[in-house]
Amino acid sequence: MTLIDRLGGTVPRAPVTVELDDIQATVLRYRPEPYYGTHVMLHVADAGAGRELLRRLAPHVDSAADWWRAGQTWISVALTYAGLAALGVPQDSLDSFPEAFRTGMAARAAQLLDTGDNAPAHWDAPFGTGRIHLGISVFSDSEQAWRRTMDMARRQYQGFQGLTVLTEQDFGAQPGDLNPLGYKDSIGQPAIEGSGVDSLPGQGPAIKAGEFILGYPGEAGEPLPMPRPDVLGRNGTFAGLRKYQSRVATFNRFLREHAQTGQERELLAAKLVGRWRSGAPLTLAPAKDDPELGADPRRNNYFTYAGDPDGRDVPLGSHMRRMNPRDTNLAQLTDVNVHRIIRRSTTYGPPYDPNATSLQDDEAARGIYFLFISAKAMATMEFL
């Protein structure tokens, strides 16, 4: 289901001023509903082989042209800093990439609060090892098309001397597109100026394209720093992938310990996030869930916090209000538009189980591939 289907056949159109056909599809296309897919991570031991793979993949990588109506199945490709080096990009060009991209997420664990159980030493290999050079992601709204596209992608990278597949990680929608903690998500996304689609109800004014795509002015009026030469940056961006194991039993136990009845537990779950699990925003449905509201893309994001400055309905510390305070009166870092990210997260493992309470449930392979996109590399993510 594309954005235009989701909105019942029409989207508010706006001028296109970015080069959609040179921007990868995932930057602008919304996650399909339902969805199937795979993230493939590769290591490039031979620069020639890596370049040949990119040459073979390029014709199959979809662009963002007509992103609001296109896109049942697509492929996207990303390179790490180590990957650029492995492909033979010259050192002066490598040096022009932002520091956070060069050092990688594991080296910045402290900034991301990846400590204790979440420290890089406990990450699933090959994440955080520095061996990942190239990522290929396939997104699809049908299982058949996903498998077909994966077969095609594998034909490009299998049996190649000098290339190793480190991992293939499948993901897929839960019933109702819920995440592993049982919430509908991927609702709040920024509107991007020049992308061809105007703000949807509640998205707020469109944000300057340069916050998300390199080579265009950002909110400060200037393009963000770009790697050299321009061809490596322009119409590109930075994407971060984080694999979060969800401790569903711990989450359920927390709800049970702090709420007496099933209804109270759901209210507590809603207060933690700012939305009921159905997606209905607490601001518009403060006392009782409203699944119809949660499912309606023209209404489920159409609100501000103006009537709730002290966080009585939506706590100031709820996940959604922290990640995007909208019109909340902030004492510092008051420009909310410079801290927005595009999210293309997906889930893996069994669906949310409200009765899971055991250690075994916590250890089950279940969670989120959190995928975010920002022209500021890690800075936005670390701030959030």
b/e 43-69 (16+ beta carbons within 10 angstroms → b): bbeeeebbeebbeebeeeebbbbbbbe
Using CB under 6 A, pick the residue from 37, 71, 188, 196 that binds ligand HEM.
188
Residue 346 binds ligand HEM, judged by CB under 6 A: no
Site for ligand HEM in 273-332 (CB under 6 A): 273, 275, 319-320, 323-324
Residue of the chain from 106, 187, 232, 295 that contacts ligand HEM (CB under 6 A)? 187
Element (H, E) at 37: strand 36-44
Of how many residues is the chain composed?
384
- From the CB of 66, what's the least distance to ligand HEM, in Å? 24
Nearer to ligand HEM, 51 or 322 (CB): 322
Burial of 21 (0-12, 13-18, 19+ CB in 10 A): exposed
**Binding status of residue 381 toward ligand HEM by CB under 6 A:** yes
* Smallest separation (angstroms) from ligand HEM to the CB of 250: 12
Q: List 107's β-bridge partners, or say none.
A: none
Q: Rounded to whole angstroms, what are the CA distances from 94 to 84, 87, 228?
A: 7, 11, 8
Residue 246, token pair as written in the block: 């969800």
CB of 318 to ligand HEM, least distance (A): 9
* Binding track over 218-257 against ligand HEM, x by CB under 6 A: --------------------------x-x-----------
Burial class (CB in 10 A: 0-12, 13-18, 19+), 360: exposed
Nearer to ligand HEM, 152 or 333 (CB): 333
Q: How many CA atoms lie within 13 A of 47 on its CB side?
A: 8
Query: What sign does the dihedral 78-199-202-210 (CA atoms) show?
Result: positive
Q: Return the number of the residue (158 or 334) whose C-beta is nearest ligand HEM.
A: 334
Q: Which is nearer to ligand HEM, 22 or 382 (CB)?
A: 382
What part of residues 156-185 is at the interface with ligand HEM (CB under 6 A)? 179, 181, 183, 185
DSSP β-bridge partners for residue 369: 243, 346
Q: Is 27 helix (H, G, I), strand (E, B) or coil?
A: helix
Contact partners, residue 99, CB within 8 Å, separation at least 6? none
How many chain residues bind ligand HEM (CB under 6 A)?
20
| Minimum distance of ligand HEM from residue 98's CB (angstroms) | 18
Of the pair 77, 381, the CB lying nearest ligand HEM is at: 381
Q: In the complex, which residue's CB is closest to ligand HEM? A: 188
C-alpha–C-alpha distance, residues 151 and 129, integer Å:
27
Selected from 186, 199, 337, 357, the binder of ligand HEM by CB under 6 A is 186
Smallest distance from ligand HEM to CB 257, Å? 19
Please report how close the Cβ of residue 165 comes to ligand HEM at its closest, in angstroms: 27
Q: Which residues of the shown chain bind ligand HEM in the complex (CB under 6 A)?
A: 179, 181, 183, 185-188, 244, 246, 273, 275, 319-320, 323-324, 341, 368, 370, 381, 384
